[in-house]
Amino acid sequence: MPEFLDGQPVALVFGFLFLGAMARGQMLYWLGRVATEQTLLRTRPTQGWRARAHTWLTGGGADPGIVAIRRWGLVMVPLSYLTVGFQSVVQAAAGVLRIALWQYTLAQVPGALAWAAIYTTFGFVTWAAVGEAARGNVWAVVVLLVAVTAVAVLLVRRRRR
């Protein structure tokens, strides 16, 4: 957990993380929406963040999120908060698809709540274990291998059913 949150009441940490998740999701939604409307339709930027956003969008950066939302609907917005990486793509894709702000925000709330709950409890501990494993801590590597193996076994069993 970040030092400034260490030792704070759980409700304060949860609230801070929830608001942060909401703000990040809204930022990505608006980046996708504004970038689509302004960058792709009206301009051809050559430098700066606008050029990077234009390149990302024209290169299909949001395509996996767009496909997921078109296939599964707005349920992908809260579910994306349970992933790493794909979350950003789905949030931006919601903006690219110009989903109504009120619908997006309502869909975002359960995901942001789940994300805040995960990171208030065991999320930061998990990332710390990954960091320790990267630094060569043998026990951290063992714990991570056991966790990854358990998840893989559960997924394989579920898929077979």
Chain center to CA of 93: 12
pLDDT above 70 covers a percentage of the chain that reads: 80
Q: Which residue has the tokens 């710390």?
A: 128
Residues 24-33: pLDDT tens digits? 999 999 988 8
Instruction: Determine the Cα–Cα distance for residues 132 and 39; give it in Å rounded to an integer.
Output: 41
Domain segments of the chain as ranges: 3-121
pLDDT > 60? residue 137: yes
CA distances for 65 relative to 31, 72, 97, 147, 149, angstroms: 14, 10, 10, 27, 27
Residue 125: the pLDDT is 62
pLDDT top residue among 35 and 97: 97
Average pLDDT, the chain: 80
Q: Which two tokens stand for residue 18?
A: 């929830």
36-89 pLDDT, tens digit per residue, is 777 666 777 778 887 787 777 776 667 788 888 888 888 889 999 888 778 888
Position with higher pLDDT, 95 vs 7? 95
What mean pLDDT comes out for the span 111-121? 86
